[in-house]
Amino acid sequence: MARPKQFDPDDALDAAVAVFRDSGYAGASAEMLTAAMQIGKQSLYNTFGGKWALYLTAVGRYAEQETAAHLEALNSGATPLAGLEQVFKRVVAEARTPCLGVSCLAEFGSDSEGGADLRPVREAAGKVLRTALAARIREAQAAGDLSADTDALQGAGFLVSNIAAIRLAARGGAGDAELRTLARLALRALQ
């Protein structure tokens, strides 16, 4: 008879997300993961299927949580432009915390075997965010707050790229004032 799990898989997964955010896939040892997750090595394999399967699940969890947080910020503004500004305020505030989305892309790219495994997770979350950003851009254009000359989907892609750039700049040592300037310039480019 199998023993019941002595841990909460969701809490363990959140702990794994934190380890992968800080260390990446290659830098995260099984020992680091099991210590943070407060589980044994066998539980890691029995519950999550091993390190790679855990990583895929962790990236998926992270993508869902980050996308939800971006959407919440996007919809919190009194106007469409204010919603876009809220997204960038959030990004600047969180920029010093490693981004698992950016790091998995840097570590695996899109064309490697690992990158191919990660692509569906990144594409699904990216599509949701780009679609929502494009909708707010169109609304801001209709209100006259952003230039109508910019294609909304291309503008959304530009903003997503700038979100990643701000996070990379923070990891590279950029100060808060510089990060705020990068956010302001990203939005100003659409005006």
Per-residue pLDDT tens digits for 144-168: 999 999 999 999 999 999 999 999 9
State which residues form the domain around 72. 59-188
**Domain contains 102:** yes
Domain count, the chain: 1
- Whole-angstrom Cα distance, residue 174 to residue 14? 28
* CB contact at 8 A, 52 and 113: no
**What pLDDT shows up at residue 115?**
86
The answer to whether residue 180 sits within a structural domain is: yes
Question: Is residue 81 included in any domain, yes or no?
Answer: yes
- Of all helices (H) and strands (E), which one includes residue 115? helix 113-142
Classify residue 54: in a domain, yes or no: no
> Tens digits of per-residue pLDDT, 69-124?
999 999 999 999 999 999 999 999 999 999 999 999 899 988 888 888 999 998 99
The DSSP 8-state label assigned to residue 145 in this structure reads: S
The answer to the question of residue 34 being in a domain is no
For residue 33, tell me if it sits in a domain: no
153 lies in some domain: yes
Q: List, for residues 164-190, the tens digit of each pLDDT value.
A: 999 999 999 999 999 999 999 999 999
CATH number of the domain residue 147 falls in:
1.10.357.10
Angle at 102 between CA 96 and CA 108, to 5 degrees: 140
Judge whether 76 lies within some domain: yes
Distance CA 44, CA 38 (A): 10
